[in-house]
Chains A and B, each alone.
Chain A
Amino acid sequence: MKALYSLFLVFALAALALVGAGALGMEKAFGLYIPFLAVAVFVVGFCMRVVDWGKSAVPFCIPTTCGQQESLPWIKQSTIENPSTTGGVVMRMLLEVLLFRSLFRNTKVDLHEGTKVTYSSSKWLWLGALAFHYSFLVIVLRHMRFFTEPVPGIIAGIEAMDSMLQIGAPTLYLTDLVFVAAVTYLFIRRVVVPQIRYISLVQDYFPLFLILGIALSGIFMRYFAKVDIISVKQLAMGLVTFSWNVPEGIGVIFYIHMFLVSVLLAYFPLSKLMHMGGVFLSPTRNMNCASRKFRHVNPWKFENVHYHTYEEYEDEFREKMVEKDLPVDKPLAEGAE
């Protein structure tokens, strides 16, 4: 049901662009103003969220230690999984952000006859997530050819790599295939695995469909509708150089694509997609684990805290302590029983 809502929402958004840029002829709005606004919302919103997180304090040093601590010199420390130096923390974060280290550990639990539980390695989510994020990154990077003139060598290089199979005209991008497959996998596991379906919300399906919509409209544009790429580049260059104009006859599918991308950009800072920024700030990963070696300072103070001092303790138990010859700070009062 939640998946259907999301699907319907994405269709509605696509229809909006279809009617708006197509029937109503609002190409300028859908080609220039909305994308521009969306980028602004994305940049400002993203920064605001990160600043907002930054304003929250980090009172304690609470990394999750995932290996042997720094201890005696002859005990081999796990310098990345339980880092005690800044270099180690940086390595840990790099592995986490670039290779999804933690997800790589994933296991699956199974119950068997005779009260037996087993755990087996389960790397599909890791593989799917990695395929999704990296193909997305490549796709974003090679889109930069629309916004640059001349196109930097690195972007041209990425594009050449991506189309190295040389199939069809225009040549097929490998990442298009991988990306659609990965998004489909991420969607299917959400509906098929009962636990995942149980925890999924509308805001989990919506970005998946939105991203799938963007991918499919892009693919359709490139391989089937074959929109006028020169005009698209004109429009894109106009956007980044602020000399806004809309070339004639790009085709409505392009505006649908643009609009869905705009929605994604604007939705990004409001949603779970902010995990992109949040992962860098996660205190269980980005802190030095040697918390007995270096004091972490809490920026805020506990107020009006009451302690039970030794004096109060001894006052209550002095007699019993003296009885057992336990040392006391104050002797028993004269005449005490």
Chain B
Amino acid sequence: MSDLPRPEALFANIDYTPPKADWMDVPVEIKPGRYCYAANPDSVNYVGLPHARKWNPLDDDWKLPENWQQIIFDGLRERLHKFRSFKIFMDICVRCGACADKCHFFIGSGDPKNMPVLRAELLRSVYRGEFKTFGKILGRFAGGRKLTPEVLKEWWYYFFQCSECRRCSVFCPYGIDTAEVTIIGRELLNLLGLNIDWIATPVANCYRTGNHLGIQPHAFFDMIDFFCDDIEDITGIRPEPSFNKKGADILFITPSGDVFADPGTYTCMGYLMLFEYLKREYGLDVTWSTYASEGGNFGFFTSHETMKRLNSKMYMEADRLGVKWILGGECGHMWRVIHQYMDTLNGPDFQSSRMEVPTNPITGTVFKNAASTKMVHIAEFTADLIKHGKLNLNPKRNANVHLTWHDSCNPARGMGLLDEPRFVAKSVVEKFTDMPEGTIREQTFCCGGGAGLNAGENDELRMMGGLPRANAVKYVHEKYGVNMLGCVCAIDRAVLPNSMAYWVPEVSVCGLHELVANALVFPGEKERETDLRGEDLPGMEDE
């Protein structure tokens, strides 16, 4: 982060005045700090995606295949036919500008090509210029452009500055969703081997080892085992999780980020403690899989097909183990995929007929809203448990926490998981304050690193994109003393700590089940002196 300017300087540089020249005349300039490194060819090769090669975005020559234009045209034509969303979004935008200042990357950077409308126009102009009669004849006069290498570079630069958060689509009078345009845009770029490494390598890892981080089964076991050691130290209770267990009732799948890095690890410890509690108290049989050890899906940021290939493991593993249904951990885009794609993509091919409509065996609640996909969000599950009084909770243990809630983009706008996590959170903490209207729920802001953009090298972009979220946190921090930002997303837990350290250093980040586990009282546990982070519990500071 050495080249990153101070927050005040970064902020002072935001200028919403567009350049004098027409946007089609402003050449793309790929700026360090705002782009991610090119995909490692080995990763692209591993999953059999085309045109793997070493290339550098800063070079003039991107070593494109000779017929690259034809590949794009064919790909575009095919997708216009396969995706009505894409075709309609290419055709009906009136450029009213309602979306313009809704994008966190625009708000934080002022770059006009980060206005959702203009990001889409980058592609739309080529659609008009190469596919539509008016545009072909009249060219610029009808808003049409030809597909040149410069235009392609511009696509690449700006489609990897969109985190597919869908905030713009909430405000669009026709529901035009830039995420949809970016998804197709990236899919086209992938036809030419133009992925970024922060997406391509996790995809290859996930394909091979079952998770983005490339954790092999023995290491996955060790990491969980290590959390169990910590939990034992803190609570005196040692969880005994099961792995790849045939005949278990429920398969649990969470993003591997939770296994790997703080503060997600505390959330992971939270899951382990919850399941141990439920096993001891009610005999719940949950198993973890090392094969389907990834909730997230970076395939979603590559192409629909790659998303399908990675997602298939969930149903395949549920079938192999013979579980009744799947429980999913705290992750953002994972839930967009599960809620809106999974059953369509892989339900017909891989969903086992032995799976049942999810029922919480402890409360008897039938999750009718998951009747077809047969996968339940852990916030739904825990909310149900708490509502039925099945957990012994002591919120005083979280008395040091003044929580605010970050609705992660995908669960908010691609699912509508808003009040379940709030209910859980308010049951386990004493102080809870929401951020202002317009920055939460369906209007929530992206953390700044979604859709595969949480690489190290694009730190400036991430801090710019993180500004709107951090700004709202700062408001409740200064006004109400909020000191903790809760979320249900592993990417958030990776991105927001940096963004908070940069914009609001006094606020930390946590997952929901970290707070649940801190409050959860096991029968016969020893008196806890610290929380899962090893920090003194309230009232234990002096001892």
B69 at the interface (CB under 8 A from A): no
| CB neighbours of A296 from chain B (8 A) | 343-344
Give the complex CA separation of A328 and B435 in angstroms.
48
Partner of B88, one of A53, A78, A102: A53
Among B94, B102, B221, B438, contact of A324 (Cβ-Cβ < 8 Å): B221
Please indicate the chain B residues that have their CB under 8 angstroms from the CB of A61 in the complex.
Answer: 340, 344
A307 contacts across to B, CB distance below 8 A:
309, 312-313, 316
Query: Which chain A residue lies CB-closest to B79?
Result: A56
B100 touches A195 (CB 8 A): yes
Q: Are A58 and B85 in contact (CB under 8 A)?
A: yes
Q: Provided the pairs A64-B175, A284-B175, A291-B340 are in contact, do residues A202 and B11 lie with their beta carbons within 8 angstroms? A: no
Asked if residues A62 and B94 are in contact (CB atoms below 8 Å), the reply is: no
A-contact bits for B83-105, CB 8 A (1 contact / 0 none): 11111100111111110111000
Task: Report the stretch among B398-406, B417-425, B426-434 that lies at the interface.
Answer: B417-425
B14 in contact with A111 (CB, 8 Å): yes
Question: B68 near A: Cβ within 8 Å?
Answer: no
| Distance in angstroms between the alpha carbons of A72 and B17 in the assembled complex | 47
Contact mask A256-297 → B, CB, 8 Å, 1/0? Answer: 000000000000001010110011011111000111111111
**Does A68 contact B419, Cβ atoms closer than 8 Å?**
yes
What residues of B have a CB within 8 angstroms of the CB of A71 in the complex?
367, 369, 380, 417, 420
Known: A84-B369, A293-B371. A67 touches B416 (CB 8 A): yes
Choice from B7, B309, B338 contacting A292 with Cβ under 8 Å = B338
Within 8 A of B (CB), among A163-200: 193-200
Rounded to whole Å, the gap between the CB of A116 and the closest CB of chain B is 7
Given contacts A105-B170, A195-B112, contact A68 B416 (CB under 8 A): yes
Q: Would you give the 0/1 interface string for A56-78, flagging 1 where the beta carbon is closer than 8 Å to chain B? A: 11111111111111111011101
Inter-subunit contact B94/A195 (CB<8 Å): no
| CB 8 Å contact bits of B410-453 with A (1 = contact, 0 = none) | 00111111111001000000000000001101110000000000
Question: Is B117 on the interface with A (CB-CB < 8 A)?
Answer: yes
A279 to B142, alpha carbons, bound, how many Å? 22
Q: Are A129 and B341 in contact (CB under 8 A)?
A: no
Cβ B369 vs Cβ A290 within 8 A: yes
Q: Given the complex of chains A and B, what is the CA–CA distance between A108 and B291 in angstroms? A: 47
Size of the A side of the interface (Cβ < 8 Å), in residues, is: 98
Total inter-chain residue pairs, C-beta < 8 Å = 311
Give Cα A317–Cα B290 distance, bound, in whole angstroms: 10
Taken together as a complex, chains A and B put the C-alpha atoms of A298 and B345 apart, in Å, by 8
Interface extent on B, as a size class? 35 or more
Give the complex CA separation of A72 and B84 in angstroms. Answer: 32
Contact of B316 among A106, A270, A291, A309 (CB under 8 A): A309
Does the CB pair B420–A75 fall under 8 Å? yes
Contacts of B367 in A (CB 8 A): 71
Task: Judge if A326 is at the interface, Cβ distance under 8 Å.
Answer: yes
Whether a CB of chain B sits under 8 angstroms from the CB of A224 is: no
Contact B387 A279 (CB under 8 A): no
Contacts of A279 in B (CB 8 A): 92, 173-175
Chain A residues, CB < 8 A from B80: 56
Q: Give complex CA distance A327, B221 in Å.
A: 12
B interface vs A, CB < 8 Å? 7-8, 11, 14, 16-18, 23, 48, 80-88, 91-98, 100-102, 107, 112, 115, 117-118, 121, 134, 141-143, 166, 169-177, 180, 207-210, 216-218, 221-222, 243-246, 290-291, 304-305, 308-309, 312-313, 316-317, 320, 338-341, 343-345, 347-348, 365, 367-373, 375, 380, 383-384, 387, 412-420, 423, 438-439, 441-443, 467-468, 471, 474, 503
Binding site for B on A (CB under 8 A): 5, 49, 52-72, 74-76, 78, 81-82, 84, 96, 100, 102-103, 105-109, 111, 115-117, 119, 125, 129, 193-204, 270, 272, 274-275, 278-279, 281-285, 289-298, 300, 302, 305-310, 313-314, 316-317, 320-321, 323-324, 326-327, 329
